[in-house]
């Protein structure tokens, strides 16, 4: 789907293997990289990603920072703090972390970014609701249409996550067509 000049892709796969300018890590506010998405990124890209991230923390929940990407194909990892040490998240935290990630991508002048399903692993947030929030928040950032960013890819692990994001993208596209 496209929204203005931004292409949205929904794919199944491993976020750590994506050939994009930046990948987003579903982080805690201390930026330690444990299991799930963070663990996959650290295993594929190297421990230096975590060391660099931790040196920039702690950050506020909903905020994001970027680091180099170690051995990954991406140039950057954007660490989006979608939860604190209590390991819980909510709609506002997911929206803020998504928007913070997009703002960093715009500031870096990159063309492509890949997101996992933020807050749905350890955070336990429902996939369908996370999908709606993330797609709408990423496209709703005011400066996005005037930036270099042209591709937002949601990389989902498993059929359930893929189907939730695909359905949410179809809904956003339908709403967009109805407004025109």
What single-letter DSSP state applies at residue 119? T
Can you give the pLDDT at residue 142? 85
In tens, the pLDDT along 34-65 reads 888 899 999 999 999 999 999 999 999 999 99
Q: Which domains are delineated in the chain?
A: 2-179 (3.40.220.10)
Long-range contacts: 81-84, Cβ < 8 Å, 24+? 81/27, 81/28, 81/29, 81/31, 82/26, 82/27, 82/28, 82/118, 82/119, 82/123, 83/28, 83/29, 83/119, 83/122, 83/123, 84/28, 84/29
- Which residue carries 């931790």 as its tokens? 54
Q: How confident is the model at residue 132 (pLDDT cuts 50, 70, 90)?
A: very high
Q: What's the mean pLDDT in 90-118?
A: 97
Return the structure tokens found at 88: 């819980």
The C-alpha R_g of the chain, in whole angstroms, comes to 15
Q: How confident is the model at residue 175 (pLDDT cuts 50, 70, 90)?
A: low
Q: Is residue 78 pLDDT above 80, yes or no?
A: yes
Model's pTM, two decimal places? 0.94
Q: Is 97:104 a contact under the CB 8 Å cutoff?
A: no
Can you give the pLDDT at residue 178? 46
Q: Which helix (H) or strand (E) holds 140?
A: helix 127-140
Can you give the pLDDT at residue 4? 79
Return the structure tokens found at 70: 């170690």
Q: Is residue 28 pLDDT above 90, yes or no?
A: yes
The average confidence (pLDDT) of the chain is: 92
Q: How confident is the model at residue 141 (pLDDT cuts 50, 70, 90)?
A: confident
- How far apart CA 145 and CA 71 sit, in angstroms, is 30
Using H for helix, E for strand and C for coil, what is the string for 42-65?
A: HHHHCHHHHHHHHCCCCCCCCCEE
């Amino acid at each position: 789907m496209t929204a203005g000049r931004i292409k949205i892709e929904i794919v199944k796969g491993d976020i750590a293997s994506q050939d994009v300018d930046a990948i987003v890590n579903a982080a805690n506010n201390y930026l330690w990289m444990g299991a799930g998405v963070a663990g996959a990124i650290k295993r594929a890209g190297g421990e230096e990603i975590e060391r660099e991230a931790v040196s920039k923390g702690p950050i506020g929940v909903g905020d994001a920072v970027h680091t180099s990407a170690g051995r990954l194909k991406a140039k950057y990892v954007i660490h989006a703090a979608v939860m604190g040490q209590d390991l819980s998240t909510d709609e506002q935290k997911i929206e803020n972390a998504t928007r913070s990630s997009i703002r960093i991508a715009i500031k870096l002048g990159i063309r492509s970014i890949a997101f996992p399903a933020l807050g749905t692993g350890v955070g336990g947030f429902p996939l369908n609701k996370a999908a709606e929030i993330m797609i709408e928040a990423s496209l709703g950032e005011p400066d996005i249409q005037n930036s270099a960013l042209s591709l937002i890819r949601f990389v989902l692990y498993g059929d359930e996550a893929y189907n939730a994001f695909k359905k949410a993208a179809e809904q956003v596209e339908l709403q967009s067509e109805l407004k025109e």
